[in-house]
Amino acid sequence: MAGSPKEEPRSSLNSFAFSSLPPHELDCADHPVDSPERPSELSQLRADVDPNHSSSELDSDTDYDSDSDPIPRSGGFGSKKADLESHSTGSHNSPSEDKKVHERTPFSSWKHELEQKSTYVAPKITLMTTLLTWFTPYRQLFVLTFGVNFAGVVTVLSGYWPWALRHLTAMVVGNALLAIGIRSEWVLRFLYWSAVKTFRPRMFPLWIRVKVVGVVYHIGGVHSGCGLSALLWLSVASSVYFKNTSVHNVITLISLGICQACLYLTCLSAFPFIRGRHHNLFEIIHRFVGWIGIVSTILFVIVDSLWDVAEQRWNSMASRLITKPELWFLTAIVFLIVFSWITIAKVPVTVFTSSDKASVIRVPGGLTSGLHTRISMGGLREWHIFGSISEGKHADCHYIVAAVQGEFTKMLNVDKPVALYTKRWKPCGLPYFSRLFKRGLAICTGSGIGAVASTCLQHDSWFLIWIGPNLETTYGKELMELIYNRIPENRRLIWDTRGPLGRPDVVRLLKDTHQYWNAEVTLFVGSPEMNNNVLQSSRALNIPAFGSIWDA
């Protein structure tokens, strides 16, 4: 990111002239560029519908064909397409006629209130608010998972849990199974689908639905907790085996040593300060070193089961092996790993590059809202996940928005590959939970549009705010026309920070739009620093909000 850009011209909307966030967090471009042809858009927010009016079309239990078909069968208030020329066609009316029209719309009243606010008091962020925001469900699940296992280890070392002492390998592999399983795209899709199907009915109050989303969305805390717990149990098991090296087969000890080295390296590479700076290295270690660790564990379990320690000879009775719980845990692990790779396919793609800041990639096949796409050049070494923009599962394509931030995304922008590897079984993301809420607000900055656009394209009760500099210049006409054509004008606000309105105060914009739209929840996709500010402020304002997570 470059330094702070030069000051922008200020709008009459004084409340939007300054931001509570640093300028570099709102401007995604590395340096200032020319102003776009299209100015910032201040949409007619439901100008024809009372936001407080409730109807069956707005309920969270809207009649869908299936969970994978989120487009309501009945026409909603947002079913009308937005006219790209609506502003110009409306200019034929006389000023007095325009004034009368605006006086009759809820939007004009809302806008007038904003214009009259000369001052704005930002929500007070207390130490407690900061701590509660930091202690996310992810960290809560990590503490719970690791804490239970730590207590178990202490109990074993104290001599109060003899069963676990006799089954240390099962404790190691059991935790590894949970860590791997909770990251399986098949398991996650099932968890997300189950949560939506179970808690969608109106009988569940908002606070329960928010809690459910928080737990399932941050389920990665179980992954981290179980991974570190597996290392803890393995350390205990290794100390037991290496204290009595004379009675164990040499193959057992070698495979155990390899397994321990692999698990230590895998856990170390997953720490944020390493993973964030060397993500490709982390991915290589997590995949290939992890595979070596699994193979060595399988070898250890087989050899240890067939070696009779008491008689110091091999015992090939199958019952000694098939009665081991760790064998079946390993079978499940192998099953999950294999299934994560069987849907890989090489597909033709089209890469649009309107600037050197981002690429828009068109991939064959439509997707339901809330699903993401993994892509790779080779299909083995590294995979990258992006939000997907699609009009629905019956569409002929979906789009990926990739900001140029690293070697892979730069390659996409420069080389424009004509084919990429992808996984046809798509992982779920945060916007998948939009089905749980009657009305919602999605706010994103820059390339974050890729994560939330499908929700607003496919669900009539969701409002989109997209903030960034020179959006059409950066992301191209194809993406902009999709947004303008498919999301009605009364459900979108496209805010160009290089336009006449300058940079918005994101927190105030969130608060005012959330209240006006009568939203139940807000989804925010932005930079880590921006994310923290928005989530802390939302907590202080008692607004249910979810943001991106980078520690999962």
CATH label of the domain that carries residue 27: 3.40.50.20
312 and 203 share a domain?
yes
377 and 524 share a domain?
no
Residue 119: per-residue pLDDT:
66
Q: How many domains does the chain have?
A: 3
> Does 439 fall in a domain?
yes
Residue 98: per-residue pLDDT:
42
Distance between CA 243 and CA 260 in Å, rounded? 15
φ/ψ bin of 518: left (φ > 0), alpha (ψ from -120 to 50), beta (otherwise): left
One-letter amino acid for residue 106 of the chain: P
> Does 313 fall in a domain?
yes
Contact 332, 177 (CB under 8 A): yes
User: Binning pLDDT at 50, 70 and 90, where does residue 309 land?
Assistant: confident
> Does 312 fall in a domain?
yes
Contact 441, 512 (CB under 8 A): no
Provide the β-strand partners of residue 111. Answer: none
Give per-residue pLDDT as tens, 489-541.
Answer: 889 999 988 887 788 889 999 999 999 899 999 999 998 889 999 999 999 99
414 and 437 share a domain?
no
| Displacement of CA 38 from its chain's centroid (Å) | 30
174 and 309 share a domain?
yes
351 and 333 share a domain?
no
Contact 249, 313 (CB under 8 A): no
170 and 183 share a domain?
yes
> Does 463 fall in a domain?
yes
> Does 538 fall in a domain?
yes
> Does 98 fall in a domain?
no
Distance between CA 369 and CA 71 in Å, rounded? 9
Residue 51: per-residue pLDDT:
38
Average model confidence (pLDDT) across the chain: 81
- Which structural domain, as residue segments, surrounds residue 80? 14-84+118-123+431-547
226 and 311 share a domain?
yes
333 and 468 share a domain?
no
* pLDDT for residue 40 is more than 80: no
392 and 461 share a domain?
no
348 and 335 share a domain?
no
> How far lies 98's CA from each of 105, 109, 353, 469, in Å?
11, 14, 39, 30
* 49 vs 479 pLDDT, higher one: 479
Contact 115, 86 (CB under 8 A): no
Contact 8, 33 (CB under 8 A): no
Residue 160: per-residue pLDDT:
95
> How far lies 376's CA from each of 233, 352, 386, 552, in Å?
35, 17, 11, 20
The stretch 319-326 carries a mean pLDDT of 88
520 and 496 share a domain?
yes
Provide the β-strand partners of residue 440. Answer: 462, 521
393 and 513 share a domain?
no
Beta strand residue intervals within 318-472, DSSP E: 344-348, 350-352, 358-364, 372-376, 384-389, 397-403, 419-423, 440-445, 462-468
> Does 4 fall in a domain?
no
Residue 78: per-residue pLDDT:
33
* pLDDT for residue 52 is more than 50: no
Kindly report which listed range (97-106, 399-408, 456-465) carries the lowest average pLDDT score. Answer: 97-106
User: For the chain, how many residues are written?
Assistant: 552
Tokens of 35: 């102003």
